[in-house]
Amino acid sequence: MVTTTRDDTPLWLFADQLGPAVYGGEHAHREVVLIEATSALAKRRYHRQKLHLVLSALRHADRDLGDRATLIKAATYTEGLNRIRRPVLVHQPTSHAAEAFVNRLQERGLVAEVLPTPTFALPRKDFETWAGERTRFRMEDFYRDQRRRFDVLMNGADPVGNRWNFDEDNREPPPKKQARLDVPAPYKPREDDIDEQVRRDLDAMDLDTVGADGPRLFAVTPGEAKRALTRFIDQRLPTFGRYEDAIMSEDWAMAHSLLSVPLNLGVLHPLDAVEAAEQAYRDNAAPLSAVEGFIRQILGWREYMWHLYWHFGPDYTGENNELKARTPLPDWWADLDADAVTAQCLHHALKGVHDRGWTHHIQRLMILGSHALQRGYRPDELTEWFATAYVDGFRWVMPTNVVGMSQHADGGLLATKPYTSGGAYINKMSDHCGDCAYDPKKRVGEDACPFTAGYWAFTHRHRDRLSKNMRTRRAVSSMERLSDLDAVLEQESARDRF
């Protein structure tokens, strides 16, 4: 879309709009405004490394844009904009609250024009056309239309390999008798003087944060993002698919891309990642199953979550709690106290969040999310936790992922069934259970696995709903045949140790 704003109007960039898709092209001539707002940093209890990434990204953008950029440090965004003394141009921000704020600024004359978000593949208006009058949403339908629309992994009208989805090929358990995947390490950025100053400034601010301060692990500039993408495509993508769902205690990154942070900061455009992956397949440098799995994560799931966030509206999180989950997040969870947890799978997942502000998607869904679902943690509190404790957890990312996918709190609007399991799944897909004090085969006793027992307690609690769902009714039938069900329920109602 071509702007009608004057050529000398500055362009204001939020901290997740820091790539050339936002400030390049028709805007390449404009002055750029960047604002560090102390109020935004202190508004929530963020992971320390998340605040570091945001400030590092802003300050690196200021340095890299040179004379084009003006970085303003202020108490609030409004104070920073008032210092410019002229209206600014801005692209749609990435949350409901920020969009409402920008609209108020436009009414006050501080913002001259608001343009569509350029950091996703599909424009918001096109998704609304696709959504139409749908009352149930399935990602596979959206994903196939995305592939057709952008001509990705297509041979004319047919998908490459004559299959849309290679998910079944991407579910191998971790290799036995080794502690790590035999794959080159992920790209790791080199901290510089900007990062050193960010760390000193955060120390001086003395903000209430969670997690460890650590070395910066993720790309925050377009240049770093390009190097991170290249390393993943060239050295790690071929292994990615097979072990996409596996978990290893000593290998936190596995063969994952670690591109969610630069994607969500806007310094890497999703179509650039998708095109690089497809080219690797066309060049016979990576198997189709791995390439399709990676593309599905970005062109499918990530875009889908973004658009459903806007489609479902600002009340989606607050209004949806279909399973009536009322348990507040325990302190050990909120404080990322992994040492308070005995179960190895839960301990390592929570420690990963504490140490890095990041775990891969199966730890999010089938360890942390599954535990929260079984124990009935409040979905609104859980959504807030994921959004603040994860370094890639921007405001738009988590509502549909947590409320819809992980906690089934919208009653099936997004996902067809609750995603939870007993210890057998964790034992198959991880190397955690061998050294755990709990036995994944046991549901009663001191060494009963809290996931195994918790699965049956959850199934019993929601048996009426689950028995009406074709995908979960078998679990209810299996539960009803358990000879020790009463003992399981009594044990889990009193469980305070995990």
CATH number at residue 427: 1.10.579.10
- Which range marks the domain in which residue 235 is found? 124-188+213-312
- Whether 318 is covered by a domain: the verdict is no
Query: Does residue 147 carry a pLDDT above 70?
Result: yes
Instruction: Provide the domain count of the chain.
Output: 3
Contact 460, 276 (CB under 8 A): no
Strand partners, 70: 33
Q: Angle at which helices 450-461 and 473-480 pack, to 10 degrees?
A: 100
Query: Does residue 235 carry a pLDDT above 60?
Result: yes
Residue 116 dihedral angles phi and psi, to the nearest 5°: -60, 150
Question: What are the strands of the beta sheet with 88-91, ordered from one edge?
Answer: 69-74, 32-37, 11-13, 88-91, 111-115
Q: Angle at which helices 96-107 and 77-84 pack, to 10 degrees?
A: 40
- Whether 320 is covered by a domain: the verdict is no
Strand partners, 282: none
- Whether 158 is covered by a domain: the verdict is yes
Domain finish residue from 66, 98, 115 = 115
Q: What is the dihedral of CA 149, 153, 155, 156, to 10 degrees?
A: 0
- Whether 65 is covered by a domain: the verdict is yes
At 20-74, the pLDDT tens digits run: 999 999 999 999 999 999 999 999 999 999 999 999 999 999 999 999 999 999 9
Contact 91, 123 (CB under 8 A): no
Nearest-CA neighbor of 371 among 455, 428, 485?
455
- Whether 179 is covered by a domain: the verdict is yes
Tell which wins on pLDDT, 210 or 3: 210
At 445-488, the pLDDT tens digits run: 999 999 999 999 999 999 999 999 999 999 999 999 999 999 99
**Cα–Cα dist 435/488, whole Å:** 23
- Whether 196 is covered by a domain: the verdict is no
- Whether 194 is covered by a domain: the verdict is no
CA distances from 282 to 63, 76, 278 (A): 37, 48, 6
At 373-390, the pLDDT tens digits run: 999 999 999 999 999 999
Residue 382 CA from chain centroid, whole number? 13
Per-residue confidence (pLDDT) for residue 68, from 0 to 100: 96
Per-residue confidence (pLDDT) for residue 493, from 0 to 100: 95
For residues 161 and 291, membership in a common domain is answered with yes
For residues 100 and 132, membership in a common domain is answered with no
At 273-284, the pLDDT tens digits run: 999 999 999 999
Domain finish residue from 115, 139, 171 = 115
